[in-house]
Amino acid sequence: MKTFKIDVPERLAQQVEDLVTTGWFASPEELTRHALAEFVQHHRFELQEQFQRDDIQWALSLKDADR
């Protein structure tokens, strides 16, 4: 498993603590994993499309450089 270290605003940190304290999540780490997975799942198509556009732009720039 990979580890990330992040800084969050105090208000967000308090909201995370509240969700853990009230039993919605077992730990801040569990909430963070869940939130990241939801974000990626929700934006998967959008992210894939952007990666494809970036790849096409890169390939076109190589083609233009060969001229």
C-alpha distances (whole Å) from 23 to each of 17, 19, 29, 35 are 10, 6, 13, 16
pLDDT, tens digit, for every residue of 8-63?
999 999 999 999 999 999 999 999 999 999 998 988 888 888 889 888 889 888 87
Taking the whole predicted model, whether its pTM rises above 0.85 is answered as no
Cα–Cα–Cα angle for 15, 18, 22, rounded to 5 degrees:
145
In a domain? residue 23: no
Contact 40, 46 (CB under 8 A): no
Query: What does the pLDDT read at residue 65?
Result: 76
Residue 22 counted as domain residue: no
Please report whether residue 32 resides in a domain.
Answer: yes
Show the domain range for 49. 28-67
In a domain, 65, yes or no: yes
Residue 64 has pLDDT above 80, yes or no: no
The answer as to whether 16 is a domain residue is no
The reply to whether 48 falls in a domain is yes
Question: Does residue 5 belong to any structural domain of this protein?
Answer: no
When divided into structural domains, the chain yields a total of 1
Residue 19's contacts (CB-CB under 8 Å, 6 or more residues apart) are 25, 31
3-state secondary structure of 54: helix
Residue 13 covered by a domain: no
Instruction: Give the pLDDT confidence score for residue 21 in this predicted structure.
Output: 98
pLDDT for 67: 67
